[in-house]
Amino acid sequence: MFAYYLQLGIRSLKRNPMLTTLMVMAIGFGVAASMITYSVFRAVSGNPIPDKSSQLFVPQIDSWGPQQNEMGEPPGAFSYIDAMAVIKAHQATRQTLLYPVMLSALPHDANSIPVSVNGYAVTGDFFPMFEVPFQYGNGWSASDDDNRAPDVVLTAEFNQRMFGGANTVGREITLSGHDYRIVGVAKHWDPSPRFYAVWSDSAFQDPPDFYVLLNRALDLKTDSSGRNSCRGNLTFAGWDQWLQSNCVWLMPWVELDTSSDVARYRRFLEGYAADQQHVGRFAWPANVRLRDVMAWLDQMKVVPPESRISMVVASCFFLICLVNTIGLLLAKFMRRAGEIGVRRALGATRHEIYAQYLVEAAAVGLAGGGLGLLLTAVGMSGVGLLFDADIAKLAHLDFSLVGLTLIVAIFATVAAAFYPAWRAAQVQPAWQLKSN
């Protein structure tokens, strides 16, 4: 029966090529606009670390006070003083501090020119808590952190560029004139958005080249290449005084496995802030936050407003296309009232008429989906014109998007056909036969 209805449907669609083309184009454009904008939105709003996102938290402490904080919100990073105090307290299963650094690397030929490389200064827990996969070696231990060892982990890409991808564990590398010991080479790992550094860096920039041991970077006065935010009158006149200032620049993360751990950690933060008030460092009551990965990405507004607005507008566009399709299907179906009358008189039930027209609509949907797919593919190649290059490169046409495009097109068209098909099924055979 389905095949017969499909055959009928296609024949009927051929009868009014203009109307059919119009519907197919409306569905095609509508679904393509929605899918292109959705593919970008999907790329920027995804969960970068799905299996652990609810166990990783950003602690925030209001070190600026109600008059200078961000409209009631504590700053999104720690000052050096708070960072060191909180990390020394060891109140979480795992904890890390990090900041972005830009260094120079000299490819081994001494006459070559240096290249700039980007990475993060991190503590040892960074690797296990974010589940960084290793190709060779491993991260470093807490005792290395305490010993302020000159350890570095290279990424596979950087190791490839510098050493041709060899197992370099145990070898040395000179970065900005200082020697570091390579303890591990990480496999490709580039969570997107880069949740762990969104306060400081763009969430979608090129992947890092290395991770150096935080205490070593601090000893070498390696400046942050990222954000530094201060309040009030600044009195520091050099690195050491800057460390003691209220400037925030170190990004903290903690891993907390159970909800009771979370509650306990929150109490610890409140206690710490209250103690600071007690000793007179803060002149305001405790104001702390503890957000998990997704809440943090939301708070940091990682999804660009352009992406959301364009998706909303494109969805509205699709909705209008569907309204358009309802009208055209109605016109098309009702034009065949006479034919429906004959079929009904010959014994077709309402149900069968209904099914027949829904199948016809599905054929339109399929064609619209096909066109939509084509337009989406064209649009994806032009997505670089519409969004920032860093974001545009994340959007791609994959199998799931192809499937989604077709499914959305067919389902939407069939849904749009419910009313016109119902009207068609309501046709009174007697009326039609009489008027003929």
Partner 1 sequence: MQIHPIIVALRRHKAGTLLIALQIALTLAIVCNALFIIHQRLSHLSEPSGIDEANLFVVTNLWGEQYSTDEAAAKIQQDLAALRQLPGVDNVTPADSYPLRGGGWDNFITLKPEQVSMTTDASVYTGDEHFLRTLGVKLIAGRDFHADEVQNMGLRQNFVPPVTIISKALADKLYPNGDALGKPFYSMSDKPTTIIGIVERLHRADVSTWSAPYANESLIWPIRMAQPWGVFYIVHTKPGQLDEAMREAPKALYAENRMRMISSKDGVRSFAQIRHLAFESDRGMAVLMSIICVVLLAITGAGIVGLTSFWVGQRRRQIGVRRALGATHRDILHYFLTENFLISLAGVAIGVLLTFGLNLWLVERFEMQFLPLAYVLGGMVILLLLGQGAVFAPALRASRVPPVEATRPA
Binding interface with partner 1 (CB under 8 A)? 18-19, 22, 25-26, 29, 33, 37, 67-68, 102, 104, 106, 113-116, 176-178, 220-221, 223, 225, 230-239, 241-242, 304-306, 308-310, 313-314, 316-317, 319-321, 323-324, 326-328, 330-332, 334-335, 385-389, 419, 423, 435-436
Tokens for 179, please give them: 């020697």
Beta carbon of residue 104, minimum distance to partner 1 (angstroms, whole number): 5
Beta carbon of residue 130, minimum distance to partner 1 (angstroms, whole number): 26
Beta carbon of residue 161, minimum distance to partner 1 (angstroms, whole number): 14
Nearer to partner 1, 73 or 131 (CB): 73
Beta carbon of residue 187, minimum distance to partner 1 (angstroms, whole number): 25
Nearer to partner 1, 10 or 330 (CB): 330
Nearer to partner 1, 135 or 176 (CB): 176
Nearer to partner 1, 25 or 84 (CB): 25
Nearer to partner 1, 40 or 97 (CB): 40
Q: At 76, which amino acid appears?
A: G
Nearer to partner 1, 67 or 143 (CB): 67
Beta carbon of residue 301, minimum distance to partner 1 (angstroms, whole number): 10
Residue 281 dihedral angles phi and psi, to the nearest 5° = -75, -40
Nearer to partner 1, 178 or 350 (CB): 178
As a whole number of angstroms, the distance between CA 172 and CA 433 comes to 92
Cis peptide bond N-terminal to 193, omega within 30: yes
Beta carbon of residue 212, minimum distance to partner 1 (angstroms, whole number): 14
Instruction: Report the candidate in 274, 275, 258 with the shortest Cα–Cα distance to residue 92.
Output: 258
Nearer to partner 1, 112 or 400 (CB): 112
Beta carbon of residue 183, minimum distance to partner 1 (angstroms, whole number): 22
Beta carbon of residue 245, minimum distance to partner 1 (angstroms, whole number): 8
